Chain A
C-alpha cells in the first residue's frame, strides 16, 4: 500500500502524486495499527431496541416535551451570544495573530478544549446559567475566529493598499482598503460558525444546560424514543431552516429578544471562584511544594498512557474512516451524478449524518455491534465523512464539465476527483483536530480515551485531575493540529479557489 512497496506506480514529485502518497500513507498507517484497536463484535439481539428507536423517529411525539419553545429559544440564544462574543474577542486577536506567538499559543489552547469540557469547567463556578453556556461557546470560538480571520485577512488582495497615497494611516488603510476586500468572506465564515454554534448549543444540553439537547439526551437515554424522535426532527428542522430565520436583519432582534430568556444571571460567590481557580484546579502536593507527593499524585491518575494511545488511535481511525466515507459519499449530493430525486435523498442523508450528534450514532452502533472501539469509529467516520462530503459536493457543483461525455465512473475518476482531491484532503486535515476532540465524547462506550477520564474526574469532583487531563488533551490537540498542518496540501491548484480556511472545523 505504502509508497515503498510500489515505487514505480506512485513515484514522482508532482502535486497530485504527493497527495496520493499521503492518503495511502494515512490508510497504511491505519491498517498497521488496526490490530491494536479493540474491534470485537459481540451483540446478539439489537433489533427490539432499534425497532423502538425507528418507531420513535417515524411516530414522533411533539407534545411530550415540556417547555419545548423555551428550550429552542435558549438553544438559539446561547448560539447567537456565544458566536457574537467569540467574534468580538476573536477579531482583535486576529489582527495580532501573526505577530504574537503568545496570541497564537493562547488561541490554540482555548480551541483545543471541547465546548463540553469548557462547560463542565465553567459549571463549577457559574452553575447552570447562561454565563456558563455562552462562555463555553465564546472561549473556544474566540480562538477559532482569531485563527480563521487572520488567515482570511492574510489573503487580502494587495492592489487597493498599493494604490493608496503615501502616508495613509494604518487605521484608514485597514478600514478602506483591506476590510472591504475580505468582508464577504469574514461574514460568510461567521455565518458558518453560527451554524456550528447551533449544534454545539444543543450539545451543551448533554451536560445539563437547558437547551434542546437537555431534553433530547434525557429522552434518548431513558428510551422515550417518540419524544427523542420529535426533538431530533425539531433539531434537523432548525438547522435546515437556518437560511430563512437566520437572516442578517433578523439576527440582531433575535439576539436582543433572547436576552429576556437568558436570566436569571448567577451571583458569583467570589470566594468560591477564587478557591476554584487557586486551589481546586491544582494538585494539593504542588501547592504544598511536596515533590514526592506530586509524583504519587501523578501515579494516581488512571492509565494515562493507554488513554493517550486510545485517543490517538481512535483519532487516526476516525480520520482515515472519514476519508473513505467522504470519497464514497460526495457524489450523492453533487449535481454531476444521479437525478434530482437521488440528489435530494443524498443531500438529506448527508445532512442527517452530520447533524445527528455523534453520541447518538455511537449508541446505535453500540446496540448493533456491542461495546468496542468499532461503534465509536463508525460514528466518527460517518459524521465527519458526511460533513466533508457535503462540502466537497458543493465544490464539485462549481465546475462545469466540458469535453467528451463520460460514464459516471469516468466523470468521478478522471474529471472531477483530480480537481477536488486537494480540497478534500485539506478539509480532512483541518478536521483531524476536531476528530481528536470528539473522541473525548465517546467514553460511554467504555473506551478509555482521555475524555473518558476527564468525564470521570469531573464526576468524582477531582477538579485538579480533570484540569491536568484537560491540559494533556489540549497539548495533544495542538500537536495533532501541527502535524496535520504540516501534511495538508499546501499548493492550491489554479482551478480550485482557496476555500475559506477552517471551513470544516466545527
Chain B
C-alpha cells in the first residue's frame, strides 16, 4: 500500500511541473536522434529566455498541431500548411520567424529515367500525363500543397485525372526511394531534402533526376502561442523571436537544417492559406 501511495505521489508530482516553456520541431530530413539534437536547442533557449525550456519530440505534423492546440507545446517549428492549420486552431498565435531558405522555398519534380520524361525548360513537361505520380505526406507544403497547386495551375485539372495513379509516400526520402526504384514514374519532393540526398550520395542520379523546379513560395516557420506574454512575462514574444534570430551556432542550426532565421509574420503565409482553401485542405 505504501508503495502504491509513493507511486501515485510520484506520478502526480511530475504532472504539476511549473510553467515550463515547451517547444517541438520536426526537421524536414534526418529525424534521427531528435532529442539529443534538440536538447541543445532547448539549452540555448533556456539561456536566452531565462525560463525552463523543454523539447517535446513529436513525430508527425498532425501530432505537432494537436500538441500545440492542447497547449502541450507553446512554440513549434511548423511547415507552411501545418503552421496555418495551427494558427487557425489557436487564435492569437503568431508566426515569428522563418528559416533564411524558407522565404524562397521550392519543390522539385523528380522522375525515373525509364519513364522517359525529359526536362523542358520552364514548365512541368507535358509527358507527365498518364504516368504514376507520388506526393510526399498529405499535409506537407512542399510535398503536397504547392506541387498540387502548380499541377492544377498548369494543366487545369486535378492530379487524379491527370496521372494514372496518385500516391502519398508519407515522406520526402521515401518519395525519392520510390521514384528511384521505378515504383512511381515521378514524384514531388522538398528541394532541400533532394539536395542533401544528392550531396550525400544517397541517390543515384543516373536513375532519377529533377525534371522541373517550381517557382518559390514561403514554407517552414516558428509559431508561438498568443498567450505567451501573459504566462511568461511581458515582452516574452519579442525575446523568443530575438533568441531565434540570434541563433548563429552552426551546430544548432544544422538540426533544422537552416543557415539562419529571419523575421516572419502571419501575413507571409497568406498565399499558403489561399491555396490550402482552394484545394479544400483548409476550411
- Whether A43 is near chain B, meaning CB under 8 Å from some CB there, is yes
Interface residues in A45-98 by Cβ distance below 8 A to B read 45-46, 48-49, 64, 66-67
Q: Distance (Å) between the CB of A451 and the closest chain B CB?
A: 13
Interface residue from A207, A263, A371, A461 paired with B184 (Cβ < 8 Å): A371
Q: Bound complex: CA of A138 vs CA of B81, how far in Å?
A: 34
Q: Which residues from B are CB-within-8-Å of A372?
A: 165
Range of interface residues on chain B? 35 or more
Q: Which residues from B are CB-within-8-Å of A267?
A: 15
Interface residue from B32, B69, B114, B177 paired with A64 (Cβ < 8 Å): B32
Taking CB as reference atom, which chain A residue is nearest B197? Answer: A223
Q: Is the CB of B170 within 8 A of A221?
A: yes
Q: Is the CB of B35 within 8 A of A66?
A: yes
- The segment from A2-10, A172-180, A211-219, A474-482 found at the interface with B is A211-219
- The segment from A121-129, A192-200, A492-500 found at the interface with B is A121-129
Q: Bound complex: CA of A422 vs CA of B267, how far in Å?
A: 66
Q: Is the CB of B184 within 8 A of A123?
A: no
Q: Is the CB of A46 within 8 A of B174?
A: no
Q: Which residues from A are CB-within-8-Å of B207?
A: 45, 48
Q: 1/0 per position for B171-184, CB-CB distance to A under 8 A? A: 10110011011111
Q: Bound complex: CA of A367 vs CA of B183, how far in Å?
A: 6
- Whether A42 is near chain B, meaning CB under 8 Å from some CB there, is yes
Q: Which residues from A are CB-within-8-Å of B180?
A: 45, 48-49
Q: Distance (Å) between the CB of A306 and the closest chain B CB?
A: 11
Q: Which residues from A are CB-within-8-Å of B18?
A: none
- Whether B270 is near chain A, meaning CB under 8 Å from some CB there, is no
Q: Which residues from A are CB-within-8-Å of B281?
A: 460
- Whether A287 is near chain B, meaning CB under 8 Å from some CB there, is no
Q: 1/0 per position for B11-35, CB-CB distance to A under 8 A? A: 1101101000000000001111111
Taking CB as reference atom, which chain B residue is nearest A264? Answer: B14
- Whether A387 is near chain B, meaning CB under 8 Å from some CB there, is no
- Whether B120 is near chain A, meaning CB under 8 Å from some CB there, is no
Q: Distance (Å) between the CB of B211 and the closest chain A CB?
A: 17
Q: 1/0 per position for B130-145, CB-CB distance to A under 8 A? A: 0010100111000000
Q: Distance (Å) between the CB of A409 and the closest chain B CB?
A: 39
- Whether A100 is near chain B, meaning CB under 8 Å from some CB there, is no
Q: Bound complex: CA of A217 vs CA of B66, how far in Å?
A: 20
Q: Is the CB of B60 within 8 A of A207?
A: yes
Taking CB as reference atom, which chain A residue is nearest B115? Answer: A44
Q: Bound complex: CA of A361 vs CA of B250, how far in Å?
A: 39
Q: Which residues from B are CB-within-8-Å of A458?
A: 62
- Whether A462 is near chain B, meaning CB under 8 Å from some CB there, is yes
If A46-B182, A445-B167, A459-B139 touch, whether A223 touches B14 (CB-CB below 8 Å) is no
Taking CB as reference atom, which chain A residue is nearest B70? Answer: A127
Q: 1/0 per position for B209-233, CB-CB distance to A under 8 A? A: 0000000000000000000000000
- Whether B157 is near chain A, meaning CB under 8 Å from some CB there, is no
Q: Distance (Å) between the CB of A440 and the closest chain B CB?
A: 15
Q: Bound complex: CA of A45 vs CA of B184, how far in Å?
A: 11
Q: Is the CB of B32 within 8 A of A224?
A: yes
Taking CB as reference atom, which chain A residue is nearest B20? Answer: A264
If A123-B66, A218-B32, A269-B71 touch, whether A45 touches B283 (CB-CB below 8 Å) is no
- Whether A385 is near chain B, meaning CB under 8 Å from some CB there, is no
Q: Which residues from A are CB-within-8-Å of B12?
A: 265
Q: Distance (Å) between the CB of A258 and the closest chain B CB?
A: 10
- Whether A366 is near chain B, meaning CB under 8 Å from some CB there, is yes
Taking CB as reference atom, which chain B residue is nearest A259? Answer: B7
Q: Bound complex: CA of A120 vs CA of B11, how far in Å?
A: 24
Q: Is the CB of B182 within 8 A of A223?
A: no
Interface residue from B7, B67, B114 paired with A128 (Cβ < 8 Å): B67
- Whether A272 is near chain B, meaning CB under 8 Å from some CB there, is yes
Q: Distance (Å) between the CB of B180 and the closest chain A CB?
A: 7
Taking CB as reference atom, which chain A residue is nearest B166? Answer: A446
Q: 1/0 per position for A358-385, CB-CB distance to B under 8 A? A: 0000000011011110000000000000
> Which residue of B3, B170, B207, B282 has the most chain A CB atoms within 10 A of its CB atom?
B170
> Which residue of B14, B114, B167 has the most chain A CB atoms within 10 A of its CB atom?
B167
Q: Distance (Å) between the CB of A373 and the closest chain B CB?
A: 11
Taking CB as reference atom, which chain A residue is nearest B204? Answer: A48
- Whether A502 is near chain B, meaning CB under 8 Å from some CB there, is no
If A49-B177, A123-B66, A128-B58 touch, whether A262 touches B11 (CB-CB below 8 Å) is yes
Taking CB as reference atom, which chain A residue is nearest B113? Answer: A44
Q: Bound complex: CA of A128 vs CA of B63, how far in Å?
A: 7
Q: Bound complex: CA of A464 vs CA of B166, how far in Å?
A: 25
- Whether B202 is near chain A, meaning CB under 8 Å from some CB there, is yes
If A260-B10, A266-B70, A444-B170 touch, whether A222 touches B132 (CB-CB below 8 Å) is no
Interface residue from B11, B56, B132 paired with A42 (Cβ < 8 Å): B132
Taking CB as reference atom, which chain B residue is nearest A70? Answer: B35
- Whether A438 is near chain B, meaning CB under 8 Å from some CB there, is no
- Whether B168 is near chain A, meaning CB under 8 Å from some CB there, is yes
Q: Which residues from A are CB-within-8-Å of B56?
A: 128
Q: Which residues from A are CB-within-8-Å of B178?
A: 366-367
Taking CB as reference atom, which chain B residue is nearest A267? Answer: B15
Q: 1/0 per position for A420-454, CB-CB distance to B under 8 A? A: 00000000000000000000000111100000000
- Whether B122 is near chain A, meaning CB under 8 Å from some CB there, is no
Q: Is the CB of B139 within 8 A of A42?
A: no
Q: Bound complex: CA of A224 vs CA of B31, how far in Å?
A: 10
Q: Which residues from A are CB-within-8-Å of B31?
A: 218, 222
- Whether B112 is near chain A, meaning CB under 8 Å from some CB there, is yes
Tell me the B residues contacting A by CB distance below 8 Å: 3-4, 7, 10-12, 14-15, 17, 29-36, 56-63, 65-67, 69-72, 85, 89, 112, 114, 132, 134, 137-139, 165-171, 173-174, 177-178, 180-184, 202, 204, 207, 280-283
Which 6 pairs across A and B sit closest by C-beta, in order of nearness? A44-B182, A446-B167, A208-B59, A208-B63, A263-B14, A127-B70
10 additional A-B pairs beyond A208-B59, A445-B167, beta carbons within 8 Å, are A42-B182, A64-B33, A127-B70, A205-B59, A256-B4, A259-B10, A259-B11, A263-B11, A272-B70, A370-B184
Tell me the A residues contacting B by CB distance below 8 Å: 42-46, 48-49, 64, 66-67, 120, 123-128, 205, 207-208, 210, 214, 217-219, 221-224, 227, 256, 259-260, 262-267, 269, 272, 300, 366-367, 369-372, 443-446, 455-456, 458-462
12 cross-chain CB contacts under 8 A: A44-B114, A46-B182, A49-B177, A66-B35, A126-B70, A208-B59, A210-B57, A218-B59, A300-B280, A369-B183, A446-B166, A461-B89
